[in-house]
Amino acid sequence: MPNSLTAFSNELASLVEQSSAPVVGVHARRRFPSSGVHWSTGVVVTAEHTIHHDDDIVVTTGSGEKLAAELVGRDAGTDLAVLRVKDLKIATAVRRTDTAYRPGNLVVAIGRNKESSNASLGVLSSLAGPSQSARGGKLDQVIRVDLDLHPASSGGAVVDTEGKLIGIATPALSRVAVFAVPNATVDRIVTALLAHGRVRQGYLGAGLQPIALPEHLTKSLGINAASGLIVVSVDQDGPAGKAGLLIGDVVLELNGQSVHRPDRVRPILAELVDKTIPLRILRGGVLATLELTVGEKPGRD
């Protein structure tokens, strides 16, 4: 009769075997492949940093089948890329729909190196709310996992003890940790890339610098902030210029959200392209509100 450790080992091996079905090898760099997850029919998600060439990409399944893949789009900010693969007849990933996991929960990272699966056992080491990655992308949740990720497993699946996907494995969002890009973020990026081939970035068209606000002014005007962003340059053909923003104006709020650091602007504008939002400013000691239609950042991110 097997002891409890043997039983756990066998259960873990069965979990990896079942959960590796939607995981493919992605051949888009030299030396060794990365991994990808069959997200929805014919759509594979992988790690953007492992896509070294846009053409002649091949994916391999667990049965050894090789299929051509087309790069739909990529987003360096979240380290995600989307591939379209015709005639991919494997299961799609079973995703976990809740986020009720806790630090210390066991997780397994699963990748594929040619026909073989790779597995790394670890724990979910920390969780945090929505944040911006070091590469500038919006993460709906920060999921840090403590495990030894095989190089070929980048872009693979991070699953819970029921084999449900909680995110895409990547070491590229930090120099010191492995993260699981959460399902909610992956879903949002996949939708954007399938629709536009890129993640559209909001564009203001103004140079901004932090500035402290005099206490007497904040009190007299009822401003609940000690600082704002002073306008130091304006693209007259950009959204800010068209909205009437002037050099010397102090931006206090974008779409109702306070801004006191330039790095707060991009996350606010991220999903507001083509939408008209209020821009609350201080001009010559007087509060004013402008209507600004958010543009799309020129060029590729």
* pLDDT tens, the chain, 301 aa long: 568 999 999 999 999 999 999 999 999 998 889 999 999 999 999 999 999 999 999 999 999 999 999 999 999 999 999 999 999 999 999 999 998 999 999 999 999 987 689 999 999 999 998 888 877 788 999 999 999 999 999 999 999 999 999 999 999 988 789 999 999 999 999 999 999 898 888 889 999 999 999 998 889 989 888 999 999 999 999 999 999 999 999 999 999 999 988 888 887 887 788 999 999 999 999 999 999 999 988 764 4
* Tokens, residue 268: 């606010």
The segment(s) of the chain belonging to CATH 2.30.42.10 are 202-296
In this structure, CATH architecture of domain 1-196: Beta Barrel (2.40)
Q: How far apart are CA 11 and CA 8, in angstroms?
A: 5
The segment(s) of the chain belonging to CATH 2.40.10.120 are 1-196
Residue 122 near residue 107 (C-beta atoms within 8 A):
yes
CATH of 202-296, one of 1.10.620.20, 2.10.10.90, 2.30.42.10, 3.40.50.12370: 2.30.42.10
Task: Name beta bridge partners: 118.
Answer: 111
Residue 52 near residue 13 (C-beta atoms within 8 A):
no
Q: Is the pTM of this model over 0.85?
A: no
